[in-house]
Structure 1
Amino acid sequence: MSISSSHPTAGKSISLLRLDERSTGFKTGAVIVGTLFLALSSQIEVPMVPVPVTMQTFAVTLVGALFGARLGALTVLAWLGEAMLGLPVLAGGAGGIVHFTGPTAGYLAAFPVMAAMVGFLAGRGWDAHRPLLAFASMLAANALCLLMGAAWLSSLIGVEKAITFGVTPFFLGAILKSALGAASLVALHRASSKARRS
């Protein structure tokens, strides 16, 4: 069945990879691959204080769009679980429970919500067939991440500093990473369509 043969109906989220139709073993493998992708993306960073700029949000939104709301969020939660266990899967090869109580805690808490949000919207047509809507969904998810991150950060350093250091520096990056995510989604869709035709 082609990806474009049907669009999801109300209450049902269908991912670009149609993972809902796959076996449990395939889904498990997808989660493992997804956590590896998230971990690798976290290593691409620009050190900043108190929160570094990374490719994490790009990876989180792309996982949501590809995997769908439920499995996308589950994949991100599995990756965060690895981090809690101390595996070096966060920015700069970091890991450990301390990162879930420090300055980055709000952003980390937002990640599974971001994946679920993008996956939900992708399952309702905000996908590779409509790149501008895919971009909008990813940008909205990034905005939500900044909001949640700043809310937590403000409890540590105050509202004004949280906005100055935890929101403003990330505006441009959020736009660029959302555009890259939408472009990647379209490219993957075209590649999969071409592979099915060959």
Structure 2
Amino acid sequence: MPTNSATAAIKPLATPFDLQSRPLSWKIAAVVFGTLLLTVSSYIEVPMVPVPVTMQTFAVALVGALYGWRLGALTVMAWLGQAMLGMPVLSGGAGGAQHFMGPTAGYLFAFPLAAALCGWLAERGWNGNRPIRAFTGMLLSNAVCLLFGAAWLALMIGLEQAIALGVTPFLVGAVLKSALGAAVLKLMARGRMRPAG
């Protein structure tokens, strides 16, 4: 018979908003808000070739960490669905199915996986209560995006060029965005622990 501590170690922890236990209306509202956050993050960009630097990976990882792996991935997929339908939700207000075949396709397809990974880790304690783990989880989420993005780019321009243009310029940004994400989670965790009054 398993002990209570063993069962607690296996059971995922609640994410900051505890959306897993909320009614469906809360989850729908969270998805709508999450897609708006992802859209706003797409408009914050530094133009580069062939892929611009945006705050998308920050928002993808944050949505995963706040929503949990299932709802986080679903929210990112809803946002990508909006993009596929032509809504101006991607970098620079872009939209349309063509972006899922161009240079950014690998990154786009990686986003739900990155959110799911960050959410899965957050549910297991890699969250604002443990900032170093939260930072590592965010960094791993960014790494998933860079890995898939570079793999897709390599098919178009070769591996060496894909790493030079699709990975190396984004490494510092990945570290900074992961640190920012961990700081946000830490602030949220501190706010939840503060007594009312």
TM-score with structure 2 setting the length: 0.93
Letter in 1 for 2:160: E
Task: Give the aligned partner of residue 57 of structure 1.
Answer: 57
Contact 2:58 2:178 (8 Å CA) reproduced: yes
Tell me the distance in 1 between the aligned counterparts of 2:15 and 2:69: 8
Tell me the distance in 2 between the aligned counterparts of 1:38 and 1:192: 24
Task: Give the aligned partner of residue 3 of structure 1.
Answer: none
Tell me the distance in 2 between the aligned counterparts of 1:140 and 1:78: 22
Secondary structure at 2:188 match in 1: helix
Task: Give the aligned partner of residue 142 of structure 1.
Answer: 142
Q: CA 1:8 to 1:121, structure 2 compared with 1: closer, same or farther past 3 Å?
A: farther
Tell me the distance in 2 between the aligned counterparts of 1:67 and 1:163: 31
TM-score with structure 1 setting the length: 0.93
Matched, 1:197 2:196: yes
Matched, 1:112 2:112: yes
Query: How far off is 1:193 after superposition?
Result: 3.5
Query: How far off is 1:197 after superposition?
Result: 2.0
- Report the RMSD for the aligned CA atoms in angstroms: 1.4
Letter in 1 for 2:36: L
Query: How far off is 1:10 after superposition?
Result: 1.9
Contact 1:13 1:68 (8 Å CA) reproduced: no
Contact 2:83 2:95 (8 Å CA) reproduced: yes
For residues 1-31 of structure 1, the C-alpha deviation after alignment (integer angstroms, 9 at most, x for no partner) is xxxxxx9642546322100110000110010
Task: Give the aligned partner of residue 186 of structure 1.
Answer: 186
Paired residues in the alignment total: 191
Secondary structure at 1:133 match in 2: helix
Task: For 1:32-51, list aligned pairs within 5 A.
Answer: 32-51=32-51
Task: Give the aligned partner of residue 24 of structure 1.
Answer: 24
Q: CA 1:81 to 1:132, structure 2 compared with 1: closer, same or farther past 3 Å?
A: same
Secondary structure at 1:117 match in 2: helix
For residues 90-133 of structure 1, the C-alpha deviation after alignment (integer angstroms, 9 at most, x for no partner) is 00000000000000000001100011001000000101110000
| Residue ranges of structure 2 left out of the alignment (5+ in a row) | 1-6
| Residue ranges of structure 1 left out of the alignment (5+ in a row) | 1-6
Letter in 2 for 1:143: A
Letter in 2 for 1:89: V
User: Structure 1: which 4+ aligned runs deviate by more than 4 Å?
Assistant: none
Task: For 1:1-12, list aligned pairs within 5 A.
Answer: 9-10=9-10, 12=12
Contact 2:118 2:138 (8 Å CA) reproduced: yes
Q: CA 1:153 to 1:129, structure 2 compared with 1: closer, same or farther past 3 Å?
A: same
Q: CA 1:123 to 1:148, structure 2 compared with 1: closer, same or farther past 3 Å?
A: same
Tell me the distance in 2 between the aligned counterparts of 1:175 and 1:157: 26
Tell me the distance in 1 between the aligned counterparts of 2:38 and 2:176: 18
Tell me the distance in 1 between the aligned counterparts of 2:58 and 2:91: 13
Tell me the distance in 1 between the aligned counterparts of 2:145 and 2:70: 18
Q: CA 1:52 to 1:101, structure 2 compared with 1: closer, same or farther past 3 Å?
A: same
Secondary structure at 2:186 match in 1: helix
